[in-house]
Amino acid sequence: MVNVIFNKVQKAFGSVVAIPDLNLEIGSGEFVSLLGPSGCGKTTTLRMLAGLEQPTGGEIRIGERAVNNVAPGERDIAMVFQSYALYPHMTVGQNIAYPLKKRGVPKSEHPARIKAVADLLQLGPLLERRPKQLSGGQQQRVALGRALVRDPKVFLLDEPLSNLDAKLRAHMRTELIELHRRLGKTMVYVTHDQLEAMTMSTRIAVMHQGHLQQFATPSEIYNRPANTFVASFIGTPSMTLVEAEIEMAEGAAFLLVGGQRFPLPPSLVMADSRHRRPITLGVRPEDISIASGEAARASVKLVEPTGHESIVTLDLGGAHFVMRAAGDVALRLGEAVPIALRIDRLHFFDRESGQRINTDAERPAEFRSIAR
Amino acid sequence: MTPLERRYALLGLALIAPTVLILTAVIVYPLLSAIYLSFFSIYTPTLAGKAVGLENYRTILSSAYFWHALWTTFVWTAGTLVLQIGFGVGMALLLNQNILFRSLARSLVLFPYFISTVVAVLVWRWLFNDLYGILNHLLIAAGVIDMPVDWLGSMPNAMVSVITVGAWKFFPFVVIAVLARLQTIPEHLYEAARIDGAGTFSRFTDVTLPQLRDVLSIVILLRIIWDFKEFDLIYLLTGGGPMDNTRTLPLIVYQQAFGLNQMGMAAAYAVAMMVVMLVFMLAYLAYSRDRSTP
Ligand SMILES: Nc1ncnc2c1ncn2[C@@H]1O[C@H](COP(=O)(O)OP(=O)(O)OP(=O)(O)O)[C@@H](O)[C@H]1O
Ligand SMILES: [Mg+2]
């Protein structure tokens, strides 16, 4: 098992700078997802690690070795492509054997190793078939098999599940988690599906326009997003982001939003005690609810029932909040309902920079253990 | 058959009838009439003659002239085919790379295929000329030879020259077909092979060649057929000489029909040629049937 380090890595395609400056340290045995919207540089990052793309600056290390000038075949990595890239004229067995053949693994060892992989991925009955005669999920397993057979140091996976239907995708997700647990290999996984990233990863690297936004455990990313981009990108429905202010008066703090004043607990009082500070407030849909007693009132703009829950849009003095409510919630459009915010779960971001400004002390971090 | 089905059947017949008629007129009729002619001894200018049964075929099969020409045709076809495929695939691989002026190079490569055979042959004859040809001039200047070489009038030079010009003239066809196929090979396959540890040569044999297999077998079949019956290039370049050493079967058909005015004999040669080609066709059909039923 080895770690992977990106040190000041830069990649430009001609005048297009895809990755301006990437620093990332992936621990040994981790399952790290590169997550971000289309075009943010996930694939480019993975391909640089694979050696299929040459960085225009900086250094990439796999374990002790700087690999910038090492050919893909010598890096001791395996990669699963989004398109699977199975060799069409070879049978499944030959596809899986190919990396062994090219690396001069003695022929006598091939059958045992192919069998081990075939057992692991339940490919036994398919070994004589050609890729064309397989379903998408089976092809995907063959691609995995070809990656696994060689026992590489690092696995790279570029959206391997994106061509599968929803049910098979959920199934393969569990299989991959199980596989990672069993092999304990370092894996780097590219996806734009936050559900995949959240469920599978030990840590997620959220990227946007070539910049690393946050690199942390799934729960940290969800509960303590580093900036407004991560906050709005992670979670469905998205976190509500509205303009607000924090006011300090006589040692007490208040949140001003939508013409309302919410008292904040003293623990939230920030060291930086400017009298009034403009912020961007972030509220997850589950952290706003209908209050039981007297409270600030918001009017119901929209109710979207999805079955087990309803997504309600509320208007609080011009600020729109999204609320997760019970599936059978009885709300009329235009009705004014009292609302409550879970003060301890609010997210405050600097209005200008978009960076998180909550102090670290207010809530114990719920780190998900890295060694899953 | 219900009336509706009958109407559909009639409509179908009406729709394919024109095609069938045209095919009959341009393919079946000439074919049958060639076979018919081959049973006669006919004087070309008057087209008058008498039936001789299988006499023409007996003459052909027992003449060393025919067997020599058949051999010559094989040598020409095999030689030029190998060069065409070799150069063609090589050039296609080159043009598939990100080389400078790629689109210009791609158009230039097609040049030999598009110019008229007559023009091409005139230029080559000028290059090959033993008295004032530039080829001899350059080779002497470079010190490779010290006497002018007779490129077209002696053996084996004449055959080598014909084969070379044929390869030059027709290799662009191979380039077009192979290049078109090369461009559809997914880049991911090469990347996967690189990660699996395959070097440049392995990537060619393990990824490129298998993908080219189908297109190459079609191209080779077509080129065999076309080269086998090639007439104008050889006729214009050497006229079949020296001493009939480049006289392939199509040239004999022409010679019999219009040089010796033996139309019946010419037809018999043509039919013999067709039988040889049929062997290739059947071999190919058997091959492709094998492939489609694994
Ligand atoms: N070969 C290339 N030439 C020029 N620009 C490129 C090339 N490859 C990628 N880019 C650019 O680099 C940026 C990052 O691309 P990349 O493929 O890494 O995105 P991605 O995060 O994988 O997106 P997606 O989710 O759509 O796959 C994009 O702006 C893209 O246009
Ligand atoms: Mg991508």
pLDDT confidence bin for A274, thresholds 50/70/90: low
* Phi, psi for residue B85 in degrees, rounded to 5: -65, -45
Residues of chain A with pLDDT > 90: what percent?
56
Same domain, A83 and A151: yes
CA distance linking residue A229 with residue A243, whole number of Å: 15
Residue A140 inside a domain? The answer is yes
pLDDT for residue B102 is more than 90? no
Shortest CA gap A49–chain B (Å): 11
Residue A230 inside a domain? The answer is no
A39 lines ligand 1 (CB under 6 A): yes
CA torsion angle B264 B267 B272 B273 (round to 10): 150
Q: How far is CA B267 from CA B30, B50, B60, B70, in A?
A: 11, 14, 11, 16
Residue A56 inside a domain? The answer is yes
Q: Is A51 on the interface with B (CB under 8 A)?
A: yes
Residue A35 inside a domain? The answer is yes
- Record the tokens describing residue B110, joined without a space: 């097609």
**CATH number of domain containing A201:** 3.40.50.300
Residue A90 inside a domain? The answer is yes
pLDDT confidence bin for B293, thresholds 50/70/90: low
Query: How confident is the model at residue A363, as a pLDDT?
Result: 43
Q: How far is CA A71 from CA A16, A26, A54, in A?
A: 24, 21, 10
Q: What is the pLDDT of residues B230-289, one digit of tens each?
A: 999 999 988 887 888 889 999 989 998 888 888 888 999 999 999 988 888 887 788 777
Residue nearest to atom 2 of ligand 1 (CA): A13
What domains does chain B contain, in order, with CATH numbers? 38-292 (1.10.3720.10)
Q: Which residues pair with A325 in a beta bridge?
A: A310
Q: What is the pLDDT of residues A159-183, one digit of tens each?
A: 988 877 888 888 888 988 998 998 8
pLDDT for residue B292 is more than 70? no
Q: What is the pLDDT of residues B131-146, one digit of tens each?
A: 777 888 888 888 788 7
CA distance linking residue A68 with residue A59, whole number of Å: 6
CA distance linking residue A233 with residue A230, whole number of Å: 5
Contacts of B114 (CB under 8 A, 6+ apart): B172
Which of these, A224, A220, A215, A166, lies nearest to A195 by C-alpha position?
A: A166
Same domain, A85 and A152: yes
Contacts of A127 (CB under 8 A, 6+ apart): A91, A92, A93, A96, A114, A118
Same domain, A254 and A181: no
Which of these, A301, A359, A354, A293, lies nearest to A331 by C-alpha position?
A: A301
A13 lines ligand 1 (CB under 6 A): yes
Q: What is the pLDDT of residues B18-66, one digit of tens each?
A: 999 999 889 889 889 889 988 988 888 887 888 888 888 998 889 888 9
Q: CB–CB of A162/A193 below 8 Å?
A: yes
Same domain, A204 and A247: no
Same domain, A96 and A174: yes
Same domain, A40 and A189: yes
- Record the tokens describing residue A3, joined without a space: 């770690």
A43 lines ligand 1 (CB under 6 A): yes
Q: How far is CA B82 from CA A68, A86, B87, in A?
A: 42, 32, 8
Residue type, A241: L
Query: How confident is the model at residue A121, as a pLDDT?
Result: 82
**CATH number of domain containing A296:** 2.40.50.140
Same domain, A252 and A179: no
Residue A101 inside a domain? The answer is yes
A42 lines ligand 1 (CB under 6 A): yes
Same domain, A56 and A201: yes
Query: How confident is the model at residue A365, as a pLDDT?
Result: 34
CA distance linking residue B190 with residue A87, whole number of Å: 10
Q: Is A50 on the interface with B (CB under 8 A)?
A: yes
Residue A372 inside a domain? The answer is no
Same domain, A292 and A326: yes
Which of these, A81, A189, A50, A197, lies nearest to A143 by C-alpha position?
A: A81
Closest ligand 1 atom number to CA of residue A159: 27
Residue nearest to atom 29 of ligand 1 (CA): A39
pLDDT confidence bin for A364, thresholds 50/70/90: very low
Nearest-by-CA chain A residue for B210? A89
Same domain, A175 and A40: yes
Residue nearest to atom 18 of ligand 1 (CA): A41
Q: Which residues pair with A313 in a beta bridge?
A: A302, A322
Same domain, A327 and A182: no
Q: What is the pLDDT of residues A224-264, one digit of tens each?
A: 999 999 999 999 899 999 999 888 777 778 888 988 888 88
Residue A108 inside a domain? The answer is yes
CA distance linking residue A152 with residue A136, whole number of Å: 24
Q: Which structural domain range is residue A342 located in?
A: 240-350
A103 burial type by CB count under 10 A (0-12 exposed, 13-18 middle, 19+ buried):
middle
| Ligand 2 centroid, distance to B24 Cα (angstroms) | 56
Same domain, A110 and A197: yes
pLDDT for residue A361 is more than 50? no
| Ligand 1 centroid, distance to A192 Cα (angstroms) | 13
pTM of the model: 0.79
Query: How confident is the model at residue A137, as a pLDDT?
Result: 84
Domain final position from A225, A259, A275: A225
Count how many domains chain A has: 2
* Cβ pairs A/B, distance under 8 A: 60
Q: What is the pLDDT of residues A8-29, one digit of tens each?
A: 999 999 999 999 999 999 999 9
